[in-house]
Structure formats: structure tokens, C-alpha cells
Amino acid sequence: MSGQIEEFTEEQIIQALQRSGYLMEQEVAGVLQERGYYVTPNEGFVDPDTGTAREYDLHAMGAITVAETRSEYVFPVLLVECRKSDRPLVLLTGDRILRAVLAEADFDNYYSGYPKHIYGANGESDDSAQSLFDFLDLSRCHHYWTCERMSTQFAEIVRDGKKIVARHEMLYNDAIVPLIKALRFEAVKDDERMSAALTEEQDASNIQVYWPVVVWRGAMFQYYAAAEPPKLEQATHVNFIRRYRSETIDGTFHVDIVAEEYLPDYLNMVDQEIKSIANLFRRHRAAIKRSIEIAADRKLHGG
């Protein structure tokens, strides 16, 4: 290979790639593949607000068996944006807002498939429906509902002339909002597919549970204003939560911000959470199977 390609040397090309996020995406994809995920780069989706085609960096799907004889699975799905910056990222964390914000968060935003509801739980009539989240008490085994602190604000520290200022528009518009839109697109698409396949004979439970995540390469901090005195400390994983409203989306959404070096530990946490969810499915298979049968009957025969 010659030392000169058009106007650029090989070294310049490699340096340009290293400064971009392209190589980072490949490296993160490699970590996910090593952990058993099937990874699709540059996954496309349709923006539910504009109808235009968009994409996010990585779609990663795993599988946990609930019942081999019936081909029942729980699928962990990571929707990943990779970001690299030489500007420090600071996430403002707190705990006083935690309960109020979590009360608005809906697990239905993070899973697709069947069942959606458990009918006739605790000896009640089949007309009585309880959400899958409440029936399985999933708040005990998912960090969205167990974390001690979370963030509703963040800022990138940048130079503006002679001043150093804090800005948040770039990461929010470039990664957070696309992940929220991709999450809703993926969940709705899978629900439609599962609904079309739902019959009285097809009563196996199969759900996908989603973790939208930004993998961050660069300095990352959390600022805890409630501490005395307030503390700025290095961070490896912060759960960001934001109410998002548009013409087609209205909800409270979690997005994990994870330092690249912490990604293996983050995946360990996701593994434990999805295994706990799968164990709950095994423990309550009878109620779940019956609820799918009821949902299929109502779909086919009305009611």
C-alpha cells in the first residue's frame, strides 16, 4: 500500500478515524459480541415524529431461556450510542427528586411482547388485569427502580472564547433523543409482530427487555449538589431520566450513561437483571401462560 492516497497519508487517515467514533463503535461491538450478544451496527429505524429514516450505533440482543421445551425466552436488548469527546461530561445527580420521577416511569416503555397484563391474579376474576411489572414486582430487580441517585440534567464543559461554559444540547439532541425514539420504534414494531402471531395455540411467553445506553469515552463526572459540601466526583455509570413529549411520544424515559471502561461491569449488572426476570417468568409460568391464552382469545373472538 502506498504512503499517499490522494491528498492524505495513511497516518492522517488512521488519526482521523481514531478521532471519530467509528473505531469506538467497532470496539464496543466487540465487547458485546464477546458477551454473547448478536450485534447489528448502524441499526435503522423510522423517526415516529417525522417519518424519516434514522439510525443508532448498535443494536445488541441476547437470549435467556425460560422453558426449552416450549421455546420461551426473555431477550435482553441494548440500544447503544457511542460517544467520544475531549470535553468533560458532568451529570448532576440527586435523590430528593427520585420518588416523584420514578412514579412517572412506566416499565411498558422498556419491554415488548406478551403478556402485557396478568388476568385473574390472586384469585380475582379474569376481568381483573394487573400489569406485568406489578405482578412480578420487577422494581426489586431492575436498577431503574433501585438506584440511590439519578440524573435529570447534564452538561458538557466547553470553551467559548475566553470563558469556560456548560452546555447540554449536543449530547441530548445527538444521543438521548435518538435513543428514546429508537426505543419506542423497536418496542412498537415488536409488539405488532407478536400481536400478529398471537393465537390460541401460540401461548408461549416471549418478551424483549430494553436498555438504552450511551457509552462514553472521555472524562465523566457526577455532581451531587445535596451533599455538604456539594461533591464533584468521577463517575462510571449514571442513570439519566427525562420526561419526553412530542407529537407521538409522551413518557418518562431512562437512559444509562456508561463510561467505556465500565461497560463489562454494566453488562454484568444487565445479566443479573435479565436472569432475575427470567426466574420470575419460570416461577409464575402458569399465570403467564393463562394470561396469554386469555389475550389470544380476546384478540380472536373479541372482548
Residue, of 297 and 262, whose pLDDT is higher:
262
Model confidence over 132-172: pLDDT tens digits? 888 888 888 889 888 878 888 888 888 878 887 777 767 88
% residues pLDDT > 70 (the chain): 83
Longest dimension (CA), the chain: 76
Range in 4-8, 109-113, 176-180, 254-258 the model is least confident about: 4-8
Cis status of the peptide bond prior to 48, with omega within 30 of 0: no
Q: Measure the CA–CA gap between 197 and 41, rounded to whole angstroms.
A: 27
Report the amino acid identity of residue 165: V
Q: Measure the CA–CA gap between 211 and 179, rounded to whole angstroms.
A: 10
Residue 95 scores a pLDDT above 50: yes
Report the amino acid identity of residue 44: G
What per-residue string of b and e applies to 43-67 under the rule 16 or more CB within 10 Å gives b?
Answer: bebebbeeeeeeebbbbbebbbebe
SS3 of residue 91 by DSSP: strand
Report the amino acid identity of residue 169: E
Q: What is the mean pLDDT of residues 60-83?
A: 88
E strands, the chain, in order: 4-5, 8-9, 38-46, 53-61, 64-67, 72-84, 89-94, 111-114, 117-119, 129-131, 150-160, 163-167, 206-217, 220-224, 231-234, 237-245, 250-259
CA atoms within 13 A on the CB side of 146: 9
Q: What is the mean pLDDT of residues 84-113?
A: 76
Paired sense of beta strands 206-217 and 163-167, if any: unpaired
Determine the pLDDT at residue 5.
Answer: 45
pLDDT band at 204 (very low <50, low <70, confident <90, very high): low
Determine the pLDDT at residue 52.
Answer: 92
Q: How far is CA 207 from the centre of its chain?
A: 14
Q: What is the mean pLDDT of residues 81-101?
A: 80
Residue 234 scores a pLDDT above 50: yes
CB atoms within 10 A of CB 75: 19
Q: How far is CA 296 from the centre of its chain?
A: 28
Q: Measure the CA–CA gap between 219 and 80, rounded to whole angstroms.
A: 19
